[in-house]
Structure 1
């Protein structure tokens, strides 16, 4: 049986008081508990630590060696606890985040800006990729946290950081741009610009189509692109229509690049999430950031 930290504390009290009964009184335990702790230490170190005398107990030579080192051990532990407490109060270091396009480009910047106002010693490394790859990076511990629009693995802890809906985007002069709302039947007639497989946006659309008895095969897909910005460009140049997050679509519409048309018979609402890795490399900074976002 390996000794616990508390056993060394018991040993120090017995050494100072030269009495198991006095040590027990100071520690608020029974004398039998003190004897048991000392016995475990003697077995562990294979040495007699005390000599019993009529007045109480005295340290042996081996006991003196352990006494000197026990105080150092306990001091080191207390120093470590103090340093960890300070680190929890004043986290530092780097947090690595992978994010899909919408949360990564449109939600994270303001969150990180607010956080770093308060915690100036924490910095961030961000990479933008699709939701599926984000989860792979999290699983491989390449990143500490991911920001995504679709949960591929529900065994991870997550929090909601925003709500979004997907909308139909069409060229500014497209016939559908004159409508206040569109139907799925309208989309099925058009050349469609798709997001790449693995995109959270695409997965939401896949699920919504399945609920209506359709699949991506029912769309007339003319190209598949790997980013929101490239889809916006392709739509604005008249290559087809697409469905993507209203957040970047709204900015493009306000600049006159395209028009937004909600689809009334498809449920395209989704939530955006932060997902935390199971074994973070910088737990103090991760906890600080997670608590900060959770409290907003």
Structure 2
């Protein structure tokens, strides 16, 4: 016998002040109603109703149970409405893990636009390097991740956005180079690196391999694990380095940084999205479709 079912029978008897009227309201037989009330009284060890020939009224114990049952009905109704909204995609929480560039320069604007259209949904965004984000996703911490390198493990990933990789330098460092610098000239300047687990650094390493540049032939005075610190080091003339075009648009526009020429087509890299619909309510699919339409 369901305790919550018995409570609903109890509430009906309390409000109708009659076993027979409650049975009619609930489409039950009167013996079934009596069975539920008797079992509740035995379970609680006290009488819930005062029975008279004119009907029933609540005892002091019954009044306490009735007040509590009403609160439970409100909680159950609220939970039901919330779950229905989650199933419909109009409510729920989405946890997102992202590598630095999409997490700092792409997603905030897109999340803001999405939440304007879907105010009942909550989103949390955590930004870290690609390897850490993928490791956390494997542990089930995020329902959606967006990273700057294709996962090596057999995870289904979807290309979302393209990013251009720029070899950036302060104008004062560029001024030290010939007017048409060779790759050897460029590599004579101090070179800055991101941490090896960074998606940007992984993409930069692919470009360096294509150009035949090896780190042991470079002067590397500075290495960091953050895009903003890396960008600041570039602006402060610590050296030159590969960085996302998205991260330095303002600096390129105002002349604080310049893009150095390369003997190959300017390299691009792709941001990939990975998600598991079983880790979040229907709103995740809604957000995923929104991101895909933003490509």
The bucket for the TM-score relative to the shorter chain is 0.5 to 0.7
Asked whether the equivalents of residues 151 and 157 of structure 2 are also in contact (C-alpha less than 8 Å), the reply is no
Asked whether the equivalents of residues 176 and 182 of structure 1 are also in contact (C-alpha less than 8 Å), the reply is no
Q: TM-score, normalised by structure 1?
A: 0.64
Asked whether the equivalents of residues 139 and 277 of structure 1 are also in contact (C-alpha less than 8 Å), the reply is no
- Equivalent residue, structure 2, for 1:32: none
- Equivalent residue, structure 2, for 1:269: 268
Asked whether the equivalents of residues 184 and 265 of structure 1 are also in contact (C-alpha less than 8 Å), the reply is no
- Structure 2, unaligned runs of 5 or more: 1-79
Q: Following the alignment from structure 2 to structure 1, what is the Cα–Cα distance between the partners of residues 257 and 271?
A: 24
Asked whether the equivalents of residues 85 and 91 of structure 2 are also in contact (C-alpha less than 8 Å), the reply is no
Shift of 1:273: 2.1
Q: Following the alignment from structure 1 to structure 2, what is the Cα–Cα distance between the partners of residues 154 and 251?
A: 36
Aligned-CA RMSD value: 2.8
Query: Which stretch has the larger CA shift, 107-116 or 148-157?
Result: 148-157
Q: Deviations over 1:109-156 (max 9, x none)?
A: 121122112221111111111111110111111111112111123533
Q: Following the alignment from structure 2 to structure 1, what is the Cα–Cα distance between the partners of residues 181 and 119?
A: 47
Q: Following the alignment from structure 1 to structure 2, what is the Cα–Cα distance between the partners of residues 184 and 279?
A: 49
Shift of 1:257: 2.7
- Counterparts in 2 of 1:279 and 1:181: CA distance versus 1, 3 Å: farther
- Equivalent residue, structure 2, for 1:224: 223
Q: Are residue 139 (structure 1) and residue 133 (structure 2) matched? A: no
- Structure 1, unaligned runs of 5 or more: 1-80
- Equivalent residue, structure 2, for 1:161: 160
Asked whether the equivalents of residues 208 and 267 of structure 1 are also in contact (C-alpha less than 8 Å), the reply is no
- Equivalent residue, structure 2, for 1:287: 285
Q: Following the alignment from structure 1 to structure 2, what is the Cα–Cα distance between the partners of residues 94 and 87?
A: 9
Q: Residues 110-149 of structure 1: matches in 2 within 5 Å?
A: 110-149=109-148
Asked whether the equivalents of residues 162 and 272 of structure 1 are also in contact (C-alpha less than 8 Å), the reply is yes
Shift of 1:103: 0.7
Q: Following the alignment from structure 1 to structure 2, what is the Cα–Cα distance between the partners of residues 239 and 225?
A: 12
